[in-house]
Structure 1
Amino acid sequence: MVAKAKKGLAEQSRIQGLGNTKKVVGLPAVAATFLIGLFIPLFIFLGPIRMSAYRIVLLLIFLPALVQLLKGLAGRMRLPDFCVIGICVWSSISLIVLHGISQTIEPIGVLWIETLGAYLIGRVYIRTPEAFYAVAKILFSMCLLMLPFVIFEALASKNLILLLFNKIGPSLPDLAAEIDNRLGLNRTQGPFDHPIIFGVLFGSLIGVSYYVLGYGRKIFMRMLQPVLLAVTAALSLSTGPLIAMNVQIFLVFWDKILSSVKARWYILTALAIVGYLIVDIFFANRTPFHTLVAYLSFSQGSAYNRILIWIYGTQNIFDNPVFGIGLEDWARPSWMSSSMDMFWIVGAVKHGVVVWVLWLALFFAVFLQVALKKELNTRVQYYRTGYLISLFGLFMAGWTVHFFNALFVYFMFMLGCGLWITERVADDEADTTSEERERTLSYSRFPPRAVRHTAGRPPSKTLS
């Protein structure tokens, strides 16, 4: 066992790669720049291509990060890696077959840079608990920075963030005049293309903020951060963020209430399957999907539209199963909007069933590999639980909204940035940051090892 642990630690040192060179608050500088770039709505144009701050970062790191992955400096290649590459390859083939290579160079390039590039930043550069903590800290800091501006936006229907950036250079339009108010408030857009992006991105961080940023903290601070994120995300007044947040809040409460029950996640999975069958059998006129959307949408009209998207979207998939419809418009009634607010079928509609299978395989490969990892210390177990809860919130939101632009690359980054957990070994000292050690010492006169189980760190394990 000792030899195995030493071997594991040696492997962890070897696979940290580029992440050990230049860092910003514990995070490789390239990853920090990418994350901050998500919130900068300024563009330059290379011909017809809109180059945002995060796209520039993705373009610059794409080849170096890919080389790091292929050389094994981010650990051995795993099923999720092959799924992402497979999505890019098959999607490119479908576009070339349907439209020819001369018309598809630009969309194929953007596809590879945003899909594989964003995944690689998470996969290659987030290799330690310290880096993962820094990711959560940067995202939460951006939430605090945005909060006063978006409160003003919700009340006054004026986006001060975009007003400022439009004075600096080309930026995004304020959609306040184009989007209907809800509950007497303007739907906040922040620095993004649409309120949905704003809401889902911040709303997906409930799990990460509670288990990662809150790890080792007193209960007030542990609860305060998710509450601030929930308030910020709720100002988007969108169904997707509502679903993402409700799912995560329920899972956090489930974990805390049943913390002494080792099999609680298996019990929850069984209850979910039974609930699905009950709805499917006894409510024949409504599928579980219909029920979920109906109860969690802001209006019956919104819920009905998403049900129609599923019906006509899947029909498009089955009518074009091999290569999809490519860049063509999808078939639907003339009175329906062209917007397809359902991320998990968009890829299949555009590129066929193979891509549909690869997307679902990618998500569940990441989720299950992280969830089933054994021999983790307490800190990494908590980080793992927060990551999986946030990831599942994104999964559920994807059935009611489409992930595009900043939200899409954020999602790909999130898929990649948790796989470091699959390569950890149980070593408490190596997985404790200096910041956490100082925070722990400030709580008590007891030695660090004793405090590890007294200063807000319950000894019960999660996802074990």
Structure 2
Amino acid sequence: MQPTVTATMTDPIPGRAPAQAIASRPASILRDLPVPVLLYIAAVTIPIAFWVGPLFMTTLRLFLLIMTIPLTVQMLRGRYGRVFATDILFILYLIWSSLAIAISNPEQAIQQTGSVGIEFLGGYAVGRAYIRTRESFVALCRLLILIVLCLIPFAISEALTGRPPLIEILRSLPGITSVQILHIDIRLGLERVQAVFAHPIHFGLFCSIAFSLCFVALKGIIGDTRRYIISAAIALSGFLALSSGAILAIVLQISLILWAAIFNGSKWRWWYLIGLFALGYVVVDVLSNRSPIKVFMSYATFSPHNAYWRGLIFEYGMKEVWSNPVFGIGLNDWDRPAFMHTASVDNFWLVLAMRYGIPAFLFLATGYALVIARVIWRDFGDDVLMNRLRRAWVFTFLGLTFTLCTVHIWTNIYSFILFMFGSGVWFISARPSDPSEPDMESGAVDPRELRYHRTISSGGVAAPEPLVLKSLAPERNNRYSRFPVRPRAVAPKTDSGP
């Protein structure tokens, strides 16, 4: 006997979940996010560290040490959808970078490959495996927004006092430690906020990731007034990091949102934007005595001094890349003028090429670009919710792509960005809602007339059967009438922009 369940206003229709249905579900974060994702996010945002003999271990690395290999094997077996070229390219990047370290720094090869490798591949695999539906993606958006909002009081306190209370508490507990408390030069009369991360830049990037996920993805799920206020609060939190890279990421996202809204009626709007970027690049290249990349970096900083410094880093960093194109320089110091006293390189993409060689850079950059390009051109038709979720993810990573030219990332935020990247791969193969299905959003069908069955599959999991409309059942629609029955019209859905 198959159990029969009658759908209510809050029950998801099999195969789809409109924005209102998702919004009306209580405790959707705990219900729609798998436990491993909750544990992963907790490990990222609660930076607990400890020593295991000579090894410095964090809760994030411990979690990924357990999860990475099983998830990667299942991913390559097609357990989480078909295998994409990016999956293979990322593994090739990990293999090549491990080989590069083994050649340049053999004494550190095991530790470096183990720690950085699991942060990279593990973060990607967790997102790839567990974020595969619109429900789980929306729940992830809600969770990240909630975390940023909870951090705001601590961020304001740190901006005024220079003391990160949460990190201080963790470092005071016996048997464990946490990230270092940084004391960086004051900017605009405020201390730079690191909150729970290893560097203020990382906190700013975390906030920037949550921005589009709130403003774009949650449109229609939460009220507009609340969405505007929360998005503004997230942007303010990112500003408290006082990092030009984090602010740049948010500004780029806002620019993309405005462009999408202004040219909402044009199907060529993104081609216009690409053409505008290409034209701007050519004009700068012709009229300026600096390369367009150096011009971009000069405007993506707080001061001319920082712009000049980043220009020098890029110039001498590229010399190292061309001098060591195959396996890079590993963890060794790089050649630069004597007055450049710090070895820091504020450019994630440049660090990859310098440290591991051009092949490693190409493996990672190509895999990264392939997924973003495929998600950009993925069309979900009239499925407004899916289009908004896709757009929010794309805006986030387009902003990050440029920002990573001006900052470097490591430890928790490094893994987290790969996790968020993996969380968007499912858009490539996701199916839009069938427009022929009744839509609870449009009000075309009385929700009281919806019912569906759940059958028990061979694996013991409840699987929904096709939707049945009681109003269309033969026994109820064969009554005599002089007037033909006219189906109720369903207005087409449009998306008015972010």
* TM score, norm. by length of structure 2: 0.81
**Residue equivalent to 2:294:** 290
Matched residue type, 1:204: I
**Residue equivalent to 1:6:** none
How far residue 461 of structure 1 moved from its aligned partner, in angstroms, is 7.5
Alpha-carbon distance in 2 for matches of 1:307, 1:419: 34
Contact 2:379/2:387 (CA < 8 Å) preserved in 1?
A: no
* Deviation string, structure 1 residues 293-338 (Cα, Å, up to 9, x no partner): 2223111111111111111111100000011001211111222211
How far residue 60 of structure 1 moved from its aligned partner, in angstroms, is 1.3
Q: What SS does the aligned partner of 1:226 have?
A: helix
Q: What SS does the aligned partner of 1:25 have?
A: helix
How far residue 90 of structure 1 moved from its aligned partner, in angstroms, is 0.6
Contact 2:205/2:249 (CA < 8 Å) preserved in 1?
A: yes
Which of 269, 272, 276 is the aligned partner of 1:271? 276
Alpha-carbon distance in 2 for matches of 1:203, 1:431: 36
Aligned pairs for 1:168-179 within 5 A: 168=173, 169-176=176-183, 179=184
Which of 306, 324, 328 is the aligned partner of 1:324? 328
How far residue 431 of structure 1 moved from its aligned partner, in angstroms, is 12
Alpha-carbon distance in 2 for matches of 1:205, 1:29: 20
Alpha-carbon distance in 1 for matches of 2:495, 2:222: 16
Alpha-carbon distance in 1 for matches of 2:290, 2:130: 44
Alpha-carbon distance in 1 for matches of 2:435, 2:196: 39
Q: How many corresponding residue pairs?
A: 428
Q: What SS does the aligned partner of 2:57 have?
A: strand
- Shift in alpha-carbon separation, 1:460–1:24, aligned structure 2, 3 A: closer
Answering whether residue 358 of structure 2 is matched by residue 353 of structure 1, we say: yes
**Residue equivalent to 2:311:** 307
Alpha-carbon distance in 1 for matches of 2:417, 2:122: 12
Alpha-carbon distance in 2 for matches of 1:318, 1:170: 40
* Deviation string, structure 1 residues 39-94 (Cα, Å, up to 9, x no partner): 11211222333222221221111122112202211111111111110110111111
Contact 1:206/1:249 (CA < 8 Å) preserved in 2?
A: no
Which of 454, 459, 462 is the aligned partner of 2:494? 459
**Residue equivalent to 1:45:** 51
Alpha-carbon distance in 1 for matches of 2:135, 2:436: 10
Matched residue type, 2:260: D
Alpha-carbon distance in 2 for matches of 1:431, 1:380: 16
Following TM superposition, the consecutive aligned residue runs of length 4 or more in structure 1 with deviations greater than 4 angstroms are 428-432, 444-450
| Most deviating of 160-169 and 314-323 | 160-169
- Shift in alpha-carbon separation, 1:42–1:286, aligned structure 2, 3 A: same
Q: Which has the higher helix share?
A: 1
- Shift in alpha-carbon separation, 1:430–1:173, aligned structure 2, 3 A: farther
Alpha-carbon distance in 2 for matches of 1:114, 1:126: 18
Q: What SS does the aligned partner of 1:205 have?
A: helix
**Residue equivalent to 2:31:** 25
- Shift in alpha-carbon separation, 1:173–1:93, aligned structure 2, 3 A: closer
Aligned pairs for 1:72-111 within 5 A: 72-100=78-106, 103-111=108-116
Contact 1:211/1:385 (CA < 8 Å) preserved in 2?
A: yes
**Residue equivalent to 1:69:** 75
* Deviation string, structure 1 residues 264-308 (Cα, Å, up to 9, x no partner): 11110111111111111111x122222222223111111111111
Unaligned runs of 5+ in 1: 1-8, 10-22
Alpha-carbon distance in 1 for matches of 2:255, 2:108: 46
Matched residue type, 1:49: L
Answering whether residue 386 of structure 2 is matched by residue 380 of structure 1, we say: yes
- Shift in alpha-carbon separation, 1:453–1:150, aligned structure 2, 3 A: farther
| Most deviating of 326-335 and 253-262 | 326-335
Alpha-carbon distance in 1 for matches of 2:491, 2:299: 41
RMSD value, Cα: 2.7
Contact 2:104/2:332 (CA < 8 Å) preserved in 1?
A: no
How far residue 368 of structure 1 moved from its aligned partner, in angstroms, is 0.6
Answering whether residue 368 of structure 2 is matched by residue 363 of structure 1, we say: yes
Contact 1:391/1:414 (CA < 8 Å) preserved in 2?
A: no
**Residue equivalent to 2:135:** 130
Contact 1:203/1:234 (CA < 8 Å) preserved in 2?
A: no
Alpha-carbon distance in 2 for matches of 1:261, 1:138: 33
| Most deviating of 203-212 and 65-74 | 203-212
**Residue equivalent to 1:19:** none
Answering whether residue 128 of structure 2 is matched by residue 120 of structure 1, we say: no
Name the larger-Rg structure.
2
Q: What SS does the aligned partner of 2:350 have?
A: helix
**Residue equivalent to 1:3:** none
* Deviation string, structure 1 residues 360-399 (Cα, Å, up to 9, x no partner): 2122111011112234522111100000000111111100
Q: What SS does the aligned partner of 1:24 have?
A: helix
How far residue 453 of structure 1 moved from its aligned partner, in angstroms, is 7.9
Matched residue type, 2:292: P
Matched residue type, 1:348: A
- Shift in alpha-carbon separation, 1:108–1:274, aligned structure 2, 3 A: same
- Shift in alpha-carbon separation, 1:110–1:386, aligned structure 2, 3 A: same
Q: What SS does the aligned partner of 2:50 have?
A: strand
How far residue 25 of structure 1 moved from its aligned partner, in angstroms, is 3.1
- Shift in alpha-carbon separation, 1:429–1:212, aligned structure 2, 3 A: farther
Matched residue type, 1:403: I
Answering whether residue 446 of structure 2 is matched by residue 411 of structure 1, we say: no
Alpha-carbon distance in 1 for matches of 2:497, 2:378: 12
**Residue equivalent to 1:164:** 169
**Residue equivalent to 1:20:** none
- Shift in alpha-carbon separation, 1:94–1:354, aligned structure 2, 3 A: same
Alpha-carbon distance in 1 for matches of 2:436, 2:308: 51
| Most deviating of 393-402 and 357-366 | 357-366
* TM score, norm. by length of structure 1: 0.86
